[in-house]
Structure 1
Amino acid sequence: MKDRLKRDRLSLLIPAHQAMATLPPLVCKLLAQAGDAYPVEIVISVDDGQDYRAILPADERIRYAEEGFKSGPAVARNRALAEATGSHVCPIDADDDVSDLFLARPGHLLAGVDTAGLVGGRLTFFA
């Protein structure tokens, strides 16, 4: 597994279940934030049998994990992790709304760092 990891790449792991409405805006927002200074890949793990490729942009930074069906978010996230090639990972839910600077801080903090493997951020919950 270590042979396929790409140094200084952040893998964003997104399990997708009933996310036809929420996943495209999230992915577009993440792609718009991704820059050359700290590259990202978005790994989608489909868990509901839907064809998300048809509604997501054709972008080489988007990868798809082996599909499952109603296996749950943890299992779907693990499938995404198995497909990830980044040196660092960040789990995101398909219905999350990220700030316009979501990728700015992790990219800056992780550039050249070998000791951190999991990235997280501040969460805001809506009632």
Structure 2
Amino acid sequence: MRIESVVGVQAVRLAVTVGAVVVAPVLLVARLIAKGAVRLELDHYLEVLVPKPGAFPGSTALEQARSAGRFTPLHDAWWAQARKVHGERDGTRALIEVLLLGRPCRTSTSSPGWPRPCGPGR
């Protein structure tokens, strides 16, 4: 038997079998209504932006992340400080590297279906 439900803010899939109950997250993606609309995920572009940090400030993915509230004023404040200390290019690269550290990492040591943060050496 399979049941899909929203628990709090997390959508989950519940599979019940004899002797086991498996709970796994379900990815929910909002539909795009406008014809030809594009939704870019900032996280998908981070590796590409590391060697070319100058493309980050004007990127569509960054603007969409800001609009969606995933790139907050706290991120902007940290980025501004990093640019002040390290310069435009290196400060932007530092922000991108920090964002990469916060990526979820799926490994055999994490619970099935649940992401855990990736850090250095993981």
How high is the TM-score relative to the length of structure 1? 0.26
Point out which structure has higher relative CO (alpha carbons under 8 A, 6+ apart). 1
How high is the TM-score relative to the length of structure 2? 0.26
Q: Higher helix fraction: Structure 1 or Structure 2?
A: 2
Point out the structure with max Rg over C-alpha.
2
